[in-house]
Structure 1
Amino acid sequence: MTYACDVAVRAEATLGEGPTWDADTQRLLWIDILGARLHTYEPVSGRRTIRTLNQHIGAVKPRTGGGLVLNLRDGVALLDPDDTFRWLHHEPVPGRRANDAAVAPDGSLWAGTMRYDEAPGGGTLSRLTGAGSVETVLDDVAVSNGTGWSPDGRLMYYIDSPTRRIDVFDHENGRVTNRRPFISTEDGAGFPDGLTVDADGCVWVALWDGAAVRRYTPTGDLDRVLTLPTPRITACTFGGPDLTDLYITTARVGLNTPHPTAGSLLVLPAAGKGLPHPSFAG
């Protein structure tokens, strides 16, 4: 079924990614990874901003005290409300860049990396606290992507895109154990990319080269497919005052004849009910 998505922000992002709803400012944050741009969008006023950075960015999240945390090519940085920039964890690795990141219920940042050539084992998933401590959780990743938690925080979902799986872990006190497959997209649906978990515990996943977002129940049953007009769907999240609108990022990179919406921020109003986004405790 094709749903009537609206174009929230018409753009030509090379690799649009990482939509995050910032409840304090009532705006959506999203990025263009390869364009090194940080976008903001306020649905009520329609106001937009674009900030160009000096290196590729994998993710942006709000912080509890204001400002932003940035998952950048050379590490994780803090952007203060007064625009002061400082590194929280600086670790440049030749040939490697940041990718998707998520904030856990305890306020820690789970930040992913990958090699530009997407070599297997070249990426990581690390957990960072607001105090700056860093722990590598996974050190054998190709394309670290969507990460999210169940409403009670006891499960963590995770995507390494070339595996064509969403995996699930048991999660407690910032530790994950018992990794196992949750769902697979070996049916040719595309590669799982970013994900979000809704208030019912269902997992919504964007499908790169799949032109769709899928919703899976907590038991792993497919119960909804949102067919979209452009193939490279990268991530999704709920936003708006009631967290009922599904925002979807898209990419143009690698497309010979991009659809007019490729690289734009899409929105499906009243798609469901999302969970509040925790802010980074740093």
Structure 2
Amino acid sequence: MHVEIAEPSRLQLGEGALWDPAGERLYWIGIEDRRVLWLEQGTGTASSVQLDTMPGTLVPYRDGRVLLATERGFELLDTASGTLGPVAEVEADRPHRRMNDGKCDPYGRLLAGTMTLAEPREPGPLYRLEPDGGTLRAVPVLDGLAIPNGLAWPEPDRLWYIDTPTRRIDLYEYPEHGPVGPLVRSIDTSELPGDPDGMTLDRDGNLWVAFWGGSSVRCFAPDGALLETVELPVPQVTSVAFGGPELDRLYITTAATGLDPADPAPHGALFRCDHLATGRPAVPWAGPAV
């Protein structure tokens, strides 16, 4: 299989790859870089917006707007103007924390966890953005997480989830309302190089998982069998998303943080690998309009 550079920006912490079929854009973020980036399908042009806060994840909304999870909570970004507006505060009394990876559930509600900015790790919750009367609020639905990362729903009532230090991919029951349900089973990755980070599902229900420090993306069957490994020329692999009109391009984000700036390897670049599998469309944020 051939992995190529889709966009060469050397991001300190590239993350959050996500395909927006409505806008025909591949979005990703630079967390420490405080940037939102996108690649236009039609032209191959890359654009970005500089922020005044660290984004942890994003999901598309409508009319060129995206919902972000940031240091301050949930915020709505207009990519045309660069305007960022508040949606719901999260942990305003805990400035040493920020939001990290997240995705929308099958009902169009964004879930994202929080983590400390430095060691020692202080456990925190996974939040879900929900309506509360005429406003929106962040509701904790799973607690005790150190580095909250990949999420994927194989069915509306099941959630695959990664809390990176556990080195597991956990499958939970996921009721439509209320907290995340009991643990169903886990895929143990502790014998493999690197730590599991972001992930996505293909059409057949297989999990494609980025491995930080593992120079790879690995594909697991739902029963945990390792099916395939995509090798990257850089160690810090952070997230994955299927994109393109046919959802048959695997986009991979990476990070340069902590590495030698003089190293010529393409740390922090966005990579692409075609025709490995066909993905599932990402769920946009359902709103309400704000």
Shorter-chain TM-score: what band? over 0.9
Mapped partners of 1:258, 1:142: distance in 2: 30
Matched residues, percent identical? 37
Tell whether the 8 Å contact from 1:243 to 1:273 is kept in structure 2 after alignment. yes
What is the aligned partner in structure 2 of residue 157 from structure 1? 160
Q: How many residues align?
A: 279
Any conservation in 2 of the 1:157–1:167 contact (CA below 8 Å)? yes
Shift of 1:102: 0.4
The equivalent of 2:280 in structure 1 is 275
* CA-CA distance at 1:27 after TM superposition: 0.6
Secondary structure at the aligned position of 2:142 is classed as strand
| SS of equivalent to 1:76 | strand
Q: How does 1:1-282 map to 2 (within 5 A)?
A: 3-64=1-62, 67-80=65-78, 83=81, 84-91=83-90, 92=92, 93-129=94-130, 131-150=135-154, 152-175=155-178, 176-256=180-260, 258=263, 260-282=265-287
SS of alignment partner, residue 162 of structure 1: helix
Distance of aligned partners of 1:97 and 1:173 in 2 relative to their CA distance in 1, 3 Å threshold: same
Question: How has the CA–CA distance of structure 1 residues 156 and 55 changed in structure 2, closer, same or farther, with 3 Å as cutoff?
Answer: same
Cα distance in 2 for residues equivalent to 1:74 and 1:118: 20
Alpha-carbon deviations, 1:79-103, whole Å to 9, x = none? 2477453211123322101110101
Q: Is the 8 A contact 1:229 1:259 kept in 2?
A: no
Other structure's SS at 1:28 match = strand
Contact 2:67–2:75 under 8 Å retained in 1: yes
Tell me how far 1:184 sits from its aligned partner: 1.6
With normalisation by structure 2, the TM-score equals: 0.91
Q: Which amino acid is 2:232 matched to?
A: L
1:258: how far off?
4.1
Distance 1:278 1:255 in 2: 34
Alignment CA distance shift 1:28-1:94 (3 Å): same
Q: Deviations over 1:239-265 (max 9, x none)?
A: 000100000000001123645221000
Q: Distance in 2 between matches of 1:159 and 1:59?
A: 15
Bigger Cα displacement from structure 2, 40-49 vs 191-200: 40-49
Note the residue ranges of structure 1 that are not aligned, 5 or more in a row: none
Q: Partner of 2:182: helix, strand, or coil? A: strand
In structure 2, stretches of 5+ residues that fail to align are none
CA shift digits 1:112-161 (9 cap, x unpaired) = 111011534433210113651321012311101111110x3231011111
Q: Structure 1 segments of 4 or more deviating over 6 A?
A: none
Name the TM-score, length of structure 1 as normaliser. Answer: 0.93
